[in-house]
Amino acid sequence: MTGQPRLIDPFARAITYLRVSVTDRCDFRCVYCMSEHMEFLPKAELLTLEELDRLCSAFIGLGVEKLRITGGEPLVRKGIMTFFRAMSRHLESGALRELTLTTNGSQLRRFAAELADCGVRRVNVSLDTLDADKFARITRWGRFRQVMDGIEAAAEAGLHVKINTVALKGVNEEELHDLVAWCGARGFDLTFIEVMPMGDLGAEDRLDQYWSLRDLRQRLEERWTLADTPERTGGPARYVRVAETGGRIGFITPLTHNFCESCNRVRLTCTGQLFMCLGQEDEADLRSVLRANPGDDAPLVAAIAAAIARKPRGHDFDYSRREVHGRVSRHMSHTGG
């Protein structure tokens, strides 16, 4: 499909970045992402690896240059390296500029070298604390030493590691400076993310968890010298450089300062639903189009273009009035982190 027009939304934003959830399953149960006793989707509803290939290839043919694989935990999907190997052909052709993933790190010792062989050059690892006991509380089922070993394996394989840390009030506030120093010493980027109102967490309260990154940055500046930088990695983070370490810190602020004006991405769920905005419920069912037209991609291309034409200006997340506004019902593990 080379030569197809690029995907342009109603606000003249070119859509060049696709985030793809390959599974809603995970070997952790992080308190801000899932309830402890999740009901996962029936496997029959999930796209097959071949269907994921076809869908992603259609987007690449329409000008998508960056593909981020997410979950759940993407590396627990059976046979997932078959999919990474299939996507690597688009890197080799030059159609795809970057293939990467977000992971909890638990399976990186097993897969890091093979990911590098498939053309993956960097990974985002979700890590909210350097304290093993606190890690167990946040992730419920997580194994801290296994994640640390996975991060080491990624570095050994030559993958550039970025640590993603969700800012959690009363949970990791006191580790702020330790995280900056730890990442700086290892050459890892560090990105802080505000907790988002997605999914029913049962007893967990979003307002109790929420820590504004405006406040977090002020806390950082008590110890570190931060210089704003125009650097971008294709996503929503705004970056600063830390003079003392030379490291880079990103801030993803969907609540205090949304990044909608420059949004270049859409999200494909593991069931083939395309969400044009993370914080809106509008979706396009690409799975039914895909399965109804097994030998013809023209209807799929048309469905993608029609969906992009409905992309909204932005989301409505808001905690400012001590109430959670703009909440969406689906879990982040379904949509893709």
The tens digit of pLDDT for each residue in 154-166 reads 999 999 999 999 9
Residue 70 is part of which domain span? 17-335
CATH of the domain at 265: 3.20.20.70
**How much of the chain exceeds pLDDT 70, in percent?**
85
Q: What is the mean pLDDT of residues 136-159?
A: 96
Cis peptide before 72 (omega within 30 of 0): yes
Q: ∠ CA 200-203-208 to the nearest 5 degrees?
A: 90
Domain annotation covers residue 103: yes
Q: Is residue 308 helix, strand or coil?
A: helix
C-alpha 295, offset from chain centre: 31
Whole-number pLDDT of residue 336: 61
Whole-number pLDDT of residue 235: 73
Domain annotation covers residue 3: no
Cα radius of gyration rounded to whole Å, the chain: 19
Q: Tell me the C-alpha distance between 44 and 39, whole Å.
A: 14
pLDDT in tens, 92-111: 999 999 999 999 999 999 99
**Selected residue with higher pLDDT from 16 and 237:** 16
pLDDT in tens, 164-199: 999 988 889 999 999 999 999 999 999 999 886 544
Domain annotation covers residue 2: no
Contacts of 141 (CB under 8 A, 6+ apart): 27, 28, 29
Neighbours of 203 (CB within 10 A): 7
Q: Tell me the C-alpha distance between 108 and 81, whole Å.
A: 12
Domain annotation covers residue 36: yes
- Look at residue 265 and tell me whether its pLDDT is greater than 70: yes
pTM recorded for the entire structure: 0.87
Domain annotation covers residue 11: no
Q: Tell me the C-alpha distance between 62 and 162, whole Å.
A: 28
Q: How far is CA 243 from CA 123, 130, 248, in A?
A: 24, 22, 9
Q: Where are the alpha helices (DSSP H) in 187-324?
A: 206-209, 213-220, 286-292, 298-308
- Look at residue 1 and tell me whether its pLDDT is greater than 60: no
Nearest CA to 233 among 116, 150, 93, 122? Answer: 122
Domain annotation covers residue 136: yes
Domain annotation covers residue 95: yes
Whole-number pLDDT of residue 38: 82
Domain annotation covers residue 323: yes
Nearest CA to 123 among 102, 150, 109? Answer: 102
Residue with the two structure tokens 């967490």: 201
Sign of the C-alpha dihedral computed for residues 335, 115, 87 and 236 taken in this order: positive
DSSP label of 7: P
Q: What is the mean pLDDT of residues 29-36?
A: 83
- Look at residue 282 and tell me whether its pLDDT is greater than 90: no
Our count of domains for the chain comes to: 1
